[in-house]
Amino acid sequence: MTPAKTARHNPGGEAVRAVLPSSAKVHATKTDHADLIVNGVPVAIKWVGEGWLGDVQPLLASRRNRPDIVVARRMSPGARVALSEAGIGWVDQTGAAEIVLGPIVVSRTGQPVPPATRPPRWTPSVLAVAEALLCGTRATVAAAGEATGLSTGSCTSALRILTDLGFLSARAKRGRASARRVSDEGRLLDAYAAAAASMTPKASLQIGVTWRDVIVGLAETGKTWDRARVAWAVTGAAASLMVAPYLASVSSAEVYVEAGSVVELQGVATDAGLRPIEGGRLTLRPFPTVTTRRLATEIDGLRVAPWPRIYADLRTTGVRGEESAEHLRVMHDR
């Protein structure tokens, strides 16, 4: 069997070949238990797509038929740690790898990962409407408009794009069954999170705080913003403590506020008596979508962002953040 055929059967085969040392004797095969023979050892390879922690967790939950090597487009920090702890090798398409096959040990850092690019057709309006749908808003122009505050034209266009992308469907073309619905919430959440990562507001401001308890400090600061009529919402790890606790505590926080530039962020900080400082434990950012601001909710005195936004922000903040994101996802699905 040629390498090209191996790649068609399993897109991870060529990625594994590329990171093995040139001295390794590699032969293609295709049995129920192996995709390659490396130095006489059968090796089973599993392709898991993007490579987030959530992509490898189902595989790790099964004790049977586990692969020797898992391959992805870009293996996230959380996925790398989980696979390593399970004794499973991994490779991604940046060239990064961690494999142990008998006497062969491979450890590569890979090429730097470029900034996330915006997926085709995902605009700020599409992102805002998708966020609303994940929060339970019906897939109608009227409902989307009420939830997001966007114009009828923007909502119509966003719903059409989400339908064209396969995230919305209807049981019939006409009649009572013609209303569109989210066809697969999990797939929409993954696409939303990827788009959100590519459209993160560039403006940010780090603030020095002396809070002993981050949650208490955020609540007190929030009262000051409320009096100044400044919209705000906590996201990330601090918000996850309120929505779906996983971490025992947090030492820093990220807050979205009503501002459009660094200068406006500085004004919001001044309103609360806060002082910008490089490396500060509090980070202020502009609201990423109109939905994030409008659908934020209050929990025990803390205003928190909608759960899809918290999820999207968590999974880009390292191993513990990604673990918290997947915990939030599981808790929401229950």
Helix H, strand E, coil C: the string for 279-295 is CCCEEEEECCCHHHHHC
Q: Residue 287: is its pLDDT beyond 60?
A: yes
How much is the pLDDT for 3?
A: 40
pLDDT (mean) for 272-295:
96
How much is the pLDDT for 175?
A: 52
- The token duo for 261 is 């530039």
- Residue 139 C-alpha from the chain's centroid: 23
How much is the pLDDT for 110?
A: 86
For the ranges 19-23, 224-228, 258-262, 293-297, which has the lowest average pLDDT? 19-23
- The token duo for 151 is 């114009």
pLDDT (mean) for 36-51:
91
Provide CATH code, domain 124-198. Answer: 1.10.10.10
Domain 3-108 has CATH 3.40.50: no
Q: Residue 1: is its pLDDT beyond 50?
A: no
For residue 33, the number of C-alpha atoms closer than 13 Å in the C-beta half-sphere is 4
Residue written as token pair 């390659």:
36
Q: Residue 155: is its pLDDT beyond 50?
A: yes
**Percentage of the chain surpassing pLDDT 90?**
76
- What is the reported pTM? 0.88
The contacts of residue 290 (CB under 8 Å, 6+ apart) are 128, 148, 149, 150
Domain with CATH 1.10.10.10 in the chain: 124-198
Domain 205-333 has CATH 3.40.50.12780: no
Instruction: Name the pLDDT band for 8 (thresholds 50, 70, 90).
Output: very low
Domain with CATH 3.40.1350 in the chain: 3-108
For residue 148, the number of C-alpha atoms closer than 13 Å in the C-beta half-sphere is 34
Q: Residue 6: is its pLDDT beyond 50?
A: no
Q: What does the pLDDT look like over 84-135, one tens digit per residue?
A: 999 999 999 999 999 988 888 899 988 887 777 889 999 999 999 999 999 9
